[in-house]
């Protein structure tokens, strides 16, 4: 099976490339390519290039893990965010209609407004709060429109949308690694660390997410019974504050920190950001876990494994 991967140098992309199942021919890409690591260049902001890559390689799957993920910066670069997050999946979908391959489109809990106060089911309506979420939502819509996926419906044709949340891995730019650095700096200087405690979601490790992505493709290729929209996060729920505290505790346990900082819970109003974020964006992953037959890992366990990989 031939898979064209985008975002190959991103945190999920790297995890996907680390654990490629047997029998997969992987064509991995990133924006400018990297001969040293075998990445081919593919600019997701260039719709013609996205269509051409599908026509050239004729993959069985496009795994679109690349995205404009800078949530706050997207507020001032909406055109670029739209081109990458919605233009690229649309272009892939258009070309895949010709070639017959499938698309696995990664998406986000930020397509929801977070106001309902209970976990979101895959079929619930999108209502993003910021530019990043809005452009990812438009990417989902393009996949649904062109590859005949009906949200929550059975039999997803050529397109599958996999939403996830709070992605963190041992490499790249993410909250866990930022907290580890801040814990180290503030712990050493005796300063405390204020972290938002009134936004709740669930961390997801790149390792468990990559396994879920590969499982989706295998499951779709052996039986066409997966729902069209899937939700995958690690198990449990947490605030950013909870994750920051856990990074300190686990960092000490694993010998990554000599001293942890005192973490102070603060409200969102004390940490204003350009983009508004959902206050409760937990994804209900029950149906996906059953469909993929993949047991969940609690986020704290997955975080421990992530930090062990940093050592």
Ligand X SMILES: NC(=O)c1ccc[n+]([C@@H]2O[C@H](COP(=O)([O-])OP(=O)(O)OC[C@H]3O[C@@H](n4cnc5c(N)ncnc54)[C@H](OP(=O)(O)O)[C@@H]3O)[C@@H](O)[C@H]2O)c1
Of positions 9, 86, 103, 149, contacts ligand X by CB under 6 A = 9
132 is catalytic: yes
Q: Find the shortest distance in angstroms from Cβ 41 to ligand X.
A: 8
Strand partners, 72: none
Interface residue with ligand X, options 10, 87, 122, 133 (CB under 6 A): 10
Kindly state the smallest distance separating residue 85's Cβ from ligand X, in Å.
7
Helix (H) or strand (E) holding 62: strand 61-64
Write out the binding residues for ligand X, residues 73-102 only, by CB under 6 A.
84
Q: How far apart are CB 206 and ligand X at their closest, in Å? A: 7
- Distances in Å between the alpha carbon of 11 and those of 62, 97, 119? 17, 29, 25
Q: How far is the CB of 245 from ligand X (least distance, A)?
A: 19
Q: Which of 27, 59, 61, 69 binds ligand X (CB under 6 A)?
A: 69
Q: Does 153 bind ligand X (CB under 6 A)?
A: no
| DSSP string across 245-294 | HHHHHHHHHTTS-SSPPPEEEE-GGGS--SS---SB--B--HHHHHHHT-
Give CA torsion, residues 107, 108, 112, 115, to 10 deg: 160
Tell me if 65 contacts ligand X by CB under 6 A. Answer: yes
Cα R_g (the chain), whole angstroms:
19
- Binds ligand X (CB under 6 A): choice among 12, 62, 176, 202: 12
Which x/- pattern, by CB under 6 A, does the window 160-179 give for ligand X? ----xxxx----x-------
Closest CA to 112 of 196, 200, 226: 200
DSSP result, 121-153: PTTSPP--SSHHHHHHHHHHHHHHHHTTPPTT-
Nearest to 180 by CA among 251, 95, 84, 76: 251
**Nearest-approach distance from CB 7 to ligand X, in angstroms:** 4
Q: Interaction with ligand X in 99-128: which residues (CB under 6 A)? A: 106, 108
Mask: binding to ligand X, 292-311, rule CB under 6 A, as x and -?
Answer: --------------------
**Residue 111 per-residue DSSP state:** G
Q: Which of residues 206-235 bind ligand X (CB under 6 A)?
A: none
Number of residues that bind ligand X (CB under 6 A): 25
Residue 253 C-beta: closest distance to ligand X, Å: 24
Site membership for ligand X, residue 57 (CB under 6 A): no
How many angstroms separate the CA atoms of 266 and 134, rounded? 27
In the complex with ligand X, the residue whose CB is nearer, 175 or 218, is: 175
Q: What are 101's two structure tokens?
A: 């391959």
Pick the piece of the chain touching ligand X (CB under 6 A) from 11-19, 212-220, 246-254, 281-289.
11-19
Q: Please say whether the beta carbons of 130 and 276 come within 8 A.
A: yes
The catalytic site residues sit at 132
Residues lying near ligand X in the complex (CB under 6 A) are found at 7, 9-13, 30-31, 43-45, 65-69, 84, 106, 108, 136, 164-167, 172
């Amino acid at each position: 099976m031939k898979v064209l991967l985008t975002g190959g140098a991103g945190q999920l992309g790297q995890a996907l490339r680390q654990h490629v199942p047997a029998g997969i021919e992987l064509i991995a890409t990133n924006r400018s390519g990297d001969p040293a690591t075998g990445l081919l260049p593919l600019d997701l902001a260039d719709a013609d290039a996205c269509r051409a890559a599908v026509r050239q390689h004729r993959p069985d799957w496009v795994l679109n893990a690349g995205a404009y993920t800078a949530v706050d910066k997207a507020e001032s670069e909406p055109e670029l965010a739209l081109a990458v997050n919605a233009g690229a999946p649309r272009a892939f979908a258009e070309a895949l209609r010709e070639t017959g391959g499938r698309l696995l489109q990664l998406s986000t809990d930020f397509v929801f407004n977070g106001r309902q106060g209970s976990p979101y089911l895959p079929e619930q309506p999108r209502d993003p709060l910021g530019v990043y979420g809005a452009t990812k939502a438009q990417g989902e819509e393009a996949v649904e429109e062109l590859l005949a996926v009906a949200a929550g419906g059975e039999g997803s044709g050529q397109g599958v949308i996999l939403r996830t949340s709070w992605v963190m891995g041992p490499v790249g730019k993410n909250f866990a690694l930022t907290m580890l650095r801040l814990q180290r700096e503030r712990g050493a200087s005796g300063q405390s660390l204020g972290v938002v405690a009134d936004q709740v979601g669930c961390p997801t490790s790149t390792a468990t997410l990559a396994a879920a992505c590969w499982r989706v493709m295998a499951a779709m290729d052996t039986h066409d019974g997966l729902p069209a929209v899937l939700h995958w996060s690690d198990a449990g729920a947490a605030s950013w504050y909870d994750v920051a505290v856990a990074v300190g505790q686990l960092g000490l346990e694993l010998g990554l920190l000599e001293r942890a900082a005192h973490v102070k819970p603060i409200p969102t109003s004390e940490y204003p950001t350009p983009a508004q974020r959902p206050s409760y964006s937990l994804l209900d992953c029950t149906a996906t876990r059953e469909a993929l037959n993949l047991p969940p890992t609690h986020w704290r366990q997955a975080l421990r494994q992530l930090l062990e990989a940093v050592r």
